[in-house]
Structure 1
Amino acid sequence: MAEAPSLDTIPTKHLKIVFKKYVDKSMASSSKSTGNDVKPLAGTCTSVGTLLEQCVGKKYKEANDSIVFKKYTDKTKGSQTFGKLKADTFCMKDFWLELEAVKIAAEKKVKKPALDDAKVVEGAKQTMTKVASFHSVDLTAAKKPTTGGTAGAVTDRLTDTKRYTGSHKERFDESGKGRGTVGRKDAPGGSGYVGNYKGAGTYGRGSNAADKSESSKPSTVGGHPTGKKPETGNSTTGKGRGTVGKTDTTKTTGQAGANRRSGSYDKK
């Protein structure tokens, strides 16, 4: 591996270019501003952390967020850069030495090493060189993050129509394209079937059609339809007997109504 250059030889202009790409350059205007003032460039903890994470990894972002950023931010109250990290401070070698020392202590769970420690100096050199190399990278062409917990992953999950259920699922086709009004409203079909019935037009079809036709015939008892004996509603030919078969008319024969041998007493 080629030896990393000295911290003093790393071009700070490259670091500033990278810094400008990630931080928010819009600063609140001072009440005394004439409109021609050049606003100082300074970054928030979030923007600097994003820079470090995407250039050199998440461990450097954690080191920045926990200790380093607060230590090197502008503490001049009333200034436009108060509570932020200036671009010039970002390019200082002490910032990178502190960042490397905190990262090593957190990674190995040991006491923070001195800033002049050989491992700290070597690590800081490599980190500054790698970040400076991003000065020519077009960040607008960067791939949308897809790691767990990021905004990109959450958006992908919430917009995946294959995960939808219930009425939401009906609004999109298999390709994910919206179905329009068809997917939102149940148009009345006038078929007489309920909305979710899937067997419309299948009644009487299939292998048991003959059984169904037989079962539709009325059962018989003694050669007559069940419950319809000749002496009641139907005659022996099956023809309806009208009122005679439905109503018992009152007669003055002196015989009980159900007696079918009226007038046969003493007759042989």
Structure 2
Amino acid sequence: MFCSFPLRDNVDDFKVQTAKHPNIGSAPLRPHSEQSKDRVSKRLSTESNGTSEGGVGSSTPVELTALEEAFRRFAIHGDTRATGKEMHGKNWSKLCKDCGVIDGKNITLTDVDIVFSKVKKKSCRNITYDEFKAGLGELARKKYKDKSGEEAEAEVFKLIEGKSPIISGVTRAVASPTVSRLTDTTKFTGSHKERFDLTGRGKGKAGREDIVDNSGYVSGYKHRGTYEKKVNKPAVGKPM
């Protein structure tokens, strides 16, 4: 038989601890699934702001700004392995083009490429979000020369905030005179001409192989079947 005295002592100790700390056990325990969701949300929030759990700012994560959202959308465009934290030169140029930063006057594609090479690290091929903002600052001062640096940056940021990459439609094939001439069946000669009828429709096997005519008529005879019509012509009754 088991002794009940140790169990009674543990219960008494728990009552004493509860009396000293009345808040213990007052909050209901949360399911494990909800705790996991909270940890995932916290990790995504800290990653979005470039911080790690336990780092500076991790206790109060800040939501992504409209500018950073646009940066991430263009950063992952066309690359399934991209994380959205860095952007390569091709997507940088696309962002400047789709958002209207390139105007062909003050800002050209060459200017965009030069700024990208200027702000990125020498050993890297991509730029971070901070380098992205520095590059926009360079372009802003060149685009809006009549405004101060902060005003110019604000104007460029407005062009990009909340934007997404423009996905162009399916490219249509351009009709070429050479291709049109080669596919015009009315200009075919020789054996190729026999493969199509007058409307340009292919004859199939009849246009590729010689089919033997066993009807008894000479090839090319145009009055085939006229004799049968004359012989089988119904007789007209004479009047009485």
Q: Same fold (TM over 0.5)?
A: no
Q: Which range, TM-score by smaller chain? A: 0.3 to 0.5
Q: Which has the larger radius of gyration?
A: 1
- After TM superposition, the score normalised by the length of structure 2 is 0.41
If each structure's helix is expressed as a fraction of its own residues, which one has the higher value? Answer: 2
